[in-house]
Amino acid sequence: MNQFKENLFDDPNKSNTGVMAVKGSLDTRHGPILYMEDVSVSFDGFKALNKLSLYIDDGELRCLIGPNGAGKTTLMDVITGKTRPDTGSVFFGQTINLLEMDEPAIAQAGICRKFQKPSVFDALTVFENLELALKADKGAWHTLFFRLTGEQRDRIDEVLATIGLTEATQYRAGILSHGQKQWLEIGMLLMQEPKVMLVDEPIAGMTHQEIERTAELLLSLQGKHSIVVVEHDMEFVRSIARKVTVLHEGSVLTEGTMDEVQNDPRVIQVYLGG
């Protein structure tokens, strides 16, 4: 049994409050929604992750920074099931072992990932992109006879307002600006009703105004979702993060506020320079 679970439960199926924890259901009563313990990943002898431990609280917005090769992408690959670690544990809440699940099952459980380059359907409208992303039965029979319900239309309208694209509802996605495409893809993730969102370099290629709007969008989502943002732009990180995790050589080097990590001599040496 991993150390984290030993500390929380005398009985692995029973919380310290005396309420039974149902195996396989999402249990965040003790705070963390996502944790990795002593995770190591090697590729041809190179350790991409080296006994890495990371804990993300329910509703938290966390930023991950670090130099190229620090392990940020591999970390996300492990969480989403794309890469299997050599050693370690990865849990979603207290009872869901992500290492026992494949990529589709992890996504369906509530962990979604946005890559750096926006992936939207250019030939479809903004509304149609969100409609396709609805959390619904995607079987052939259901799809053939699918009709939006009033509740589903309301959900799409709600997401359109959240991502700031209400006025662009009937625009083809292909004519949107780069920033608007990024927001649309975030909206598509929101249609899946995720518990955890992994967002990789969301502001790359954006204008200053788009960067500010993206910061506002991510801040509006914290509390409702747990968000992990990988980013290199330190000013953007400062604008959104209460807590920053610095990775180096596949491990957590330090964690804290942006001021704390920027003034840490180890961070200055390996990442920020100076």
pLDDT in tens, 98-154: 999 999 999 999 999 998 888 899 999 999 999 999 976 555 444 444 678 999 999
102-118: buried (b, 16+ CB within 10 Å) or exposed (e) per residue?
A: eeeebbebbbbbbeeeb
Query: How far is CA 37 from each of CA 5, 34, 106, 230, rounded to the nearest angstrom?
Result: 11, 10, 18, 19
Which SS3 state, helix, strand or coil, does residue 255 take?
strand
State the pLDDT at residue 135: 76
Q: Is 3.40.50.1980 the CATH classification of the domain at 31-272?
A: no
Strands 226-230 and 243-248: unpaired
Among 179, 178, 181, 189, smallest CA distance to 130 is for: 189
Contacts of 182 (CB under 8 A, 6+ apart): 118, 202, 203, 206, 210, 214
What is the number of residues in the chain? 274
Q: Kindly state the average pLDDT of the residues 171-182.
A: 96
Place of tokens 């995770």: 39
What does the alpha-carbon distance between residue 92 and residue 106 come to, in Å, rounded to a whole number?
9
Q: What is the pLDDT of residues 199-216, one digit of tens each?
A: 999 999 999 999 999 999
